Amino acid sequence: MKFEAVIGLEVHAQLKTKSKIFCGCSTQFGAEPNTQICPVCTGMPGVLPVLNKVAIEYIIKTSLALDCKVNPLSRFARKQYFYPDLPKNYQISQYDQPVSEHGYLDVQVDGKTKRLGITRIHLEEDAGKLLHEVGSRQIDGSYVDLNRTGVPLMEIVSEPDMRTPQEAHAYLIALKSILEYLDVSDCNMEEGSLRCDANVSIRPVGQKEFGTKAEVKNMNSFKGVQKALEYEIARQIKVTEEGERIVQETRLWDADKEMTFSMRSKEEAHDYRYFPEPDLVPVVVDEKWLAAIKATLPELSSQKKERFVKEYSLPEYDAGVLTADKNLSEYFEATIKGYANPKAASNWIMTELLAQLNAANKTIKESLITPKHMREMLELIDKGTISGKIAKTVFEEMFASGKMPDVVVKEKGLVQISDEGAIAKIIEEVLAANAKSVEEYKAGKTAALNFLLGQVMKKTQGKANPGVVNKILKDKLS
């Protein structure tokens, strides 16, 4: 029997507001434990929450970018459970009236576009962090750091529309791109500003009803999500084929062992006892506010991609690669500012730069080659100062040291020789030293020409302008 997977994702993204969702404390990451706290976010007796309006604006922006319907009235609710990282022992979240619902996201998988539904987007407060040890030093108990408590968290719930781990991966990449374009979240999975849980089930191909799902948690990279899904789908198929039943449960992904493990069922037997938060009034979003937020929406990747194709005459593929990451698209546009050959820039960025960054595990923001470096290097090529081949040497040096291309050229003596007299002289020397090859060429062996060309380049350490060499060589041999 053939099976297909049914996958839905729940993504939590921390919003990059300056202050927390219900108090004035800073949201800065990485501060000393319990230095960004106040009576409100530590749940002192008698405190009350006051909603940070910016958080609502960010979530509305996201909703609009994902074509969600923004509810004119949404409401907060208390989600109740006891845990030491949750000072009130309830989380202010949203339940039956989220900020927005019914959107979608188009993703590209294997060259095809697939539309994935968004069920809802809602706002809630983040919890704190438990510390069981500090660094390598064991401490004498469990401690709680409440700096993160109350950081605004946006939960984006997808429809169970994904059928493969690749689709889930593509969804996450596309979603991250949108959040970055909107500048509403840092989307850093390692720092925990983006988190993802997956609901997975399998069913025989052709069956309409969903199978019993497992919730997979604890994945801390996009690749990890894909791997966890691959594992979990294979596990469920195996269990089913062995004639056993899938149990509804929460499973944790172990990135080292590359397996999912069942959480004890006791911990997930939660009844959250949601009820409307009486300390907050409903969030009312009128047409005027919505329009004002709409007006501030930046150009998103899909729109930018279209523009790149039109404005810079780039192939679809190039435009797609360059706009998938907001920072990369900005890098590209900075590079070609005042530069006439966007396709050349695109080639260098997509092939050389991305490959090097990838190998060095760096982001575009960390690149020592700035758009200025890149543009000046391209200009040196265009002017004939360096050849494309020399440019690769220049590129590598810039990547390693951050030196400007003209400096590298000068220091390494990489200037291209285009002077016809100088080249003619070298050619004459080469022809004299390789009489046999000259004979062969004249006898009709065209391959001999390439050999002679190579000899010229060798003699000039690759600096001779290949076009000029080719022309003079042919002249001399004819």
Partner 1 sequence: MDLFNLTAHELTAKIKNKEVTSKEVTENVFKRIEAVEPKVKAYVTLLKDKALAQAAEVDAKIAAGKEAGLLAGIPIAIKDNMNIKGTKCTCSSKILNNFISPYNATIIDLLSAEGAVFTGKTNMDEFAMGSSTETSFFGKTFNPWNLQAIPGGSSGGSAATMAADEAIMALGSDTGGSIRQPASCCGIVGLKPTYGRVSRFGLVAFASSLDQIGPLTKDVTDAALLMNVIAKYDPKDSTSANILAPDYLKSLQNNVKGMKIGIPKEYFVEGMDKEVEKSVREAIKLLEKLGAQIIEISLPNTEYCLAVYYILAPSEASANLARYDGVKYGYRTPDANDLLEQYEKTRGEGFGPEVKRRIMLGTYALSSGYYDAYYLKAQKVRTMIKNDFEEAFKKVDVIITPTAPSAAFKIGEKMDDPMQMYLSDIFTISVNLAGIPAMSLPCGFTSQKMPIGLQVMAKHFNEEAIFRAAYTYEQNTNWHKEKPRL
> Which residues sit at the interface with partner 1, rule CB under 8 A?
39, 42-51, 78, 80, 82, 84, 87-90, 144, 271, 273-275, 278-281
Shortest Cβ distance from residue 49 to Zn ion (Å)? 10
Among 13, 23, 156, 426, interactor with Zn ion by CB under 5 A: 23
**Token pair 């469990």 in the structure block, residue:** 142
**Identity of residue 473:** L
Alpha-carbon distance 273 to 176, whole Å? 32
Shortest Cβ distance from residue 365 to Zn ion (Å)? 30
Yes or no: say if 21 and 152 are a contact pair by the CB < 8 Å rule: yes
Query: Of partner 1, Zn ion, none, which one does residue 41 interact with (CB within 5 to 8 Å by kind)?
Result: Zn ion
25 binds Zn ion (CB under 5 A): yes
Shortest Cβ distance from residue 41 to Zn ion (Å)? 3
C-alpha distance from residue 237 to each of 4, 167, 203, 245 (Å): 9, 19, 9, 10
With vertex at residue 351, the alpha carbon angle to CA 414 and CA 345, rounded to the nearest 5 degrees, is 70
**Token pair 């191909």 in the structure block, residue:** 205
Query: Of Zn ion, partner 1, none, which one does residue 47 interact with (CB within 5 to 8 Å by kind)?
Result: partner 1
Shortest Cβ distance from residue 296 to Zn ion (Å)? 27
**Identity of residue 450:** N
Q: Under 8 Å CB-to-CB from 207, ≥6 apart: which residues?
A: none
Of the two residues 47 and 404, which places its CB atom closer to partner 1 in the complex?
A: 47
Of the two residues 42 and 199, which places its CB atom closer to Zn ion in the complex?
A: 42
Helix (H, G, I), strand (E, B) or coil at 91: strand
Shortest Cβ distance from residue 25 to partner 1 (Å)? 14
Query: Of partner 1, Zn ion, none, which one does residue 457 interact with (CB within 5 to 8 Å by kind)?
Result: none
55 binds Zn ion (CB under 5 A): no
Shortest Cβ distance from residue 141 to partner 1 (Å)? 11
Q: Under 8 Å CB-to-CB from 447, ≥6 apart: which residues?
A: none
Query: Of Zn ion, partner 1, none, which one does residue 281 interact with (CB within 5 to 8 Å by kind)?
Result: partner 1
Alpha-carbon distance 246 to 41, whole Å? 40
With vertex at residue 115, the alpha carbon angle to CA 1 and CA 251, rounded to the nearest 5 degrees, is 55
Of the two residues 50 and 400, which places its CB atom closer to partner 1 in the complex?
A: 50
41 binds Zn ion (CB under 5 A): yes
**Token pair 């593509």 in the structure block, residue:** 170
Of the two residues 52 and 63, which places its CB atom closer to Zn ion in the complex?
A: 52
Binding interface with Zn ion (CB under 5 A): 23, 25, 38, 40-41
